Chains A and B, each alone.
Chain A
Amino acid sequence: MLENIRISLRGIWSHKMRSFLTMLGIIIGIAAIIAIVSTIMGTNEQIKSNLIGQGNNTVEATLMQDGWEADFSNQSIAGVPVFDQSIIDEILEIDGAEKASLYHTRTWVDSLYYLNTSLSGATVLGIDENYLDCAGLSVSRGRGFSLRDHVSNAKVALIDQTACDSAFGGQDPLGKTLEINREPFTVVGVVTMRSAFEPTINSMEDYELYTQDSGGKVYIPDKSWPIVFRYDEPVSVMVRAASTDDMAPVGRELANLLNGKLSVKEGAKVSYQSSNLAEEAAQLQQLASSTNAMLIGIASISLLVGGIGVMNIMLVSVTERTREIGLKKALGAPRRTIMLQFLTEAILLSLMGGVVGVVVGIVLSHVIAAVAGVPVMISGLAILVAVGFSMAVGIIFGLVPSLKASELNPIDALRYE
């Protein structure tokens, strides 16, 4: 077999120009497919990152009532248990769930002051020790919550940059006291999104999507929540999925798991629902993919034409090398060996075209990405399929010429001038 490959390579090399032109069909076909697939994937990734935030694959499940976020400020809702940390283990058993955190949240809190400055419109979150890590937040100034803060009902708070700006202006917030529902909380740190989790903002719509929490966020330890809010408020759950693709299934599983624990009355219309950004993204992606599926079809036709080119050249090669075939038969090469040799040559020709095509395709996708402004996403699977496909082209279109070569009568072949 090695000998076969060596002979074939020599044959291909001795007709460089012809071999290159033959490969060109395969090169163009494969390059087009790679470029199209990577553009599709790049577009999809852009849709994902625009909507969801690149790398921050979090899904949140919140309690909904009649299609709105449930309001617990004045009433408790019967049949909704307050989950404690023991449910985390159950959540982490969901396929694709990496991290989980429980938190309380209250939006548009009115009684939130620094001295006389109101932070109306801010969101207050009561968070457990996993939250910052899970949400992709890091402490940029001061410190985070210590374990002691979490267990001792400490009245400490973390704020985000928005809240910091609106409450303290240019002042140093550390050590200052925020008043939440008339209880004093000491600001110990400022948190920011880790840079890797910052979403790409390309349009006004994106911008509004990310800045809807315009009042900023104030975080307090979950144990301290009952000091300022109700003690039996249902919690929300945040889960970090292993990948963006896992978000939708993890979200569904999460909602199912939590809803299974509810014992609300029939018709109460209370249930956990997970944020469905991933599903929105998936719908957009599908739209992009279906238009591009046609492009792949067109590129496949060029691959077919390339395959016919390989067959044509192999047929010429068989005719040209009739004498050689006759001689090899006389020297004891059985039909099978002759066939294998031509088949090897056809496969190598296609395979080399495929490999060059992959390289050209990768270059092309970088060019497209640069021009169209989408991220470059080269799919390993697409490369594997492309190379496999080019080999298949070699086999399919090399078979007829190889059979023709192997069927040659040695005397006729030797006599051929």
Chain B
Amino acid sequence: MELLTPSSAPRHGRHARVMEEVTQPVTAPASQASSDNCPVVSLRGINKSYGEGALAVPILHDIDLQVEQGEYLAIMGPSGSGKSTLMNIVGCLDVATSGTYLLSGTDVSQLDDEGLSRLRNRTIGFVFQNFNLLPRETAQENVALPMLYGGVPRSERIDRAREALEHVGLGDRVDFLPTQLSGGQKQRVAIARAMVMKPSLLLADEPTGALDTASGEQIMELFQELSDSGATIVMITHERSIADHAHRLVFIRDGRLYTSEEVEGVAE
């Protein structure tokens, strides 16, 4: 393990592109969010530690990562490797201690709560391991929730929620409560909810972690379809079989990122 070099070395993933040369202005206006030429995710020198001063516990070290539009990236790592922290930073749920994070060209560190909320709402779709559906709301209401915060009018919310549910094959389950759905169906509702705002990034944290193998495979197929239709996906997992669905794979160990070559090279 100690032979591994940090991820600052050039990466050659299956779908890796040239990223080191990209220099985005630090305070890119939010209106650039959908511009075609900038990567969806651009992390530079990201450090994250919890606690203060001498008691600070470092979690992430010098993370550099870029995700281009349409890319399907898997981040693999064992528990405690910092992958959840990385996911939270990428998902704008947490802020880095140092380093720069541009999400679709927008510098996240410059945003206040309102701005971050709007960014999460418009730019990122979350899929969680435990689905995180509101138990008292129907599938359709769960899917409509992000549109409520996005200021979409009510009638449009209903239409788009139905559409999104049909898209994930749950057109006949719109009025079901989460308790009336199987695990795989719940995760489909969650994916519909994540995609309903047409985000630039789909962020999935162990999306199959709570599912049996068959349902997990179905979810992976759905991810593949989404990827084929142009969605940018970042998926975090600890299962190699799941990670292999992605176009590109990076590994996280003890808070540092490695390419698959680096890891495999060590393994050989």
Contact = CB atoms under 8 A, between A and B. Distances in A.
A414 interface: yes
A1 to B, nearest CB: 11
A410 interface: yes
B49 to A, nearest CB: 15
Contacts of A410: 93
Interface residues of B, number: 25
A334 B113 contact: yes
Contacts of A267: none
Contacts of B154: 3
9 contacts: A14-B136, A332-B118, A332-B121, A332-B122, A332-B146, A332-B149, A334-B117, A334-B149, A335-B117
A333 B136 CA distance: 18
Interface in B62-102: 88, 91, 93-94
A10 B117 contact: no
Interface in B112-165: 113-114, 117-118, 120-122, 126, 128, 132, 134, 136-137, 145-146, 148-150, 154
B88 A411 contact: yes
B248 interface: no
Nearest to A337: B149
Nearest to B115: A334
A230 interface: no
Contact of A327 (B88, B117, B118, B134): B134
A414 B114 contact: no
B253 interface: no
Interface residues of A, number: 22
A150 interface: no
A330 B113 contact: no
Nearest to B116: A334
B90 to A, nearest CB: 12
Task: Tell me whether chain B's interface is mostly helix, strand or loop, or mixed.
Answer: helix
A404 interface: no
Given A330-B126, A335-B117, 19 more contacts: A3-B148, A323-B132, A327-B128, A329-B93, A329-B120, A331-B120, A331-B146, A331-B193, A332-B118, A332-B120, A332-B122, A332-B149, A332-B150, A333-B117, A333-B149, A334-B114, A334-B149, A411-B94, A414-B132
B114 A336 contact: yes
Nearest to A336: B114
Contacts of A336: 114
A232 B88 CA distance: 101
A328 interface: yes
A394 B113 CA distance: 26
Contacts of A328: 145, 149
Contacts of A411: 88, 93-94
A334 B118 CA distance: 8
B261 to A, nearest CB: 31
A357 to B, nearest CB: 27
Given A3-B148, A331-B146, A336-B114, A10 B136 contact: yes
Given A336-B114, A410-B93, A411-B93, A331 B121 contact: yes
A279 interface: no
B134 A335 contact: no
Contacts of B136: 10-11, 14
A409 B85 CA distance: 13
A5 to B, nearest CB: 13
